[in-house]
Amino acid sequence: MKKKKDEKSNWSKRRKMEEIPSPNSCLPEEVLKGLELKIKEANALLLDLALSGERTVDESFRDAFKGLIGQIVEIELNCPNFSQLEEGNGEKEQLTVMGRVFLAGTNFSSLRSDKKELIVPYQSICLIHPDNRFAEPIHRPALLDIDSDLRRCLTTDFSSIVSGSPELIQLFYGLDLTVYLLQSLTKELTIQLKNEVVTGKLTSVNNSSLVICIEKKERAISFADVCFIEVDCE
């Protein structure tokens, strides 16, 4: 009789323990709530795209990534993961990339990870999955801290000063992929396409494509075929 009571008591204790939810994060509750709110906002992106006829896909993605600056995110791309197929997995899985959001351009986002930069065109993105971690601040010079000479030049000759500075273009208007890639001319890029990976030095770029040199032969690649671009961070 006593054995049955002990078993019943132990079962009751286990049941109560199962009903107590385990903590899902080491973050303080207030910080976690704020982070969860950002995650909900990012995950509402597809709904925003479906309901808004006035905003473009690029505008919606840019707003989402601007709210995730400094956060680690995993991005599901509209590109097949061929490595999974080669390993014998018959299911067609989507390619994913992960990194800390560094910049939200007008038609692309830049992620940083392990001294690598991943440049992801918005057109190749399916879903954004923010990680449940603290945001790491991205240190950039504030416009309030500029010297008096630059401040005066901005006041008197705004267009020419801003057009000559990628940082100011991003601040006032937002960089597009074409302009952003100009800083990588002559650098070696690894480009993940929808059906292959190519590596070569960037020789030129225009509004719709880029050209890389592979073993002394030039190859033009349309931005529409790009899943992401990888470049070494300096």
For residue range 72-97, list pLDDT tens digits in order. Answer: 999 999 998 866 555 555 566 789 99
Spatial strand order of the sheet with 94-104 comes to 125-130, 72-80, 94-104, 108-113, 116-121, 226-232, 188-193, 197-205, 209-214, 217-222
Q: Exposed, middle or buried by CB within 10 Å (0-12, 13-18, 19+), for 67?
A: middle
Of 130 and 36, the one with more pLDDT: 130
Q: Calculate the average pLDDT of the chain.
A: 76
Q: What is the reported pTM?
A: 0.68
Sketch out the chain's domains with CATH numbers.
Answer: 26-130 (2.30.30.100), 143-232 (2.30.30.100)
Q: What number is the average pLDDT over the span 129-152?
A: 62
Coil, helix or strand for 101?
A: strand
Q: What is the pLDDT of residue 94?
A: 86
Q: What is the pLDDT of residue 114?
A: 82
φ, ψ dihedrals at 82, nearest 5°? -70, -25
CA-angle at 28, arms to 135 and 104, nearest 5°: 15
CA dihedral 96, 98, 104, 106 (to 10 degrees): -20
Max avg pLDDT among 7-11, 18-22, 174-178: 174-178
β-strand partners of 128:
75
What percent of the chain lies above the pLDDT cut of 90? Answer: 37
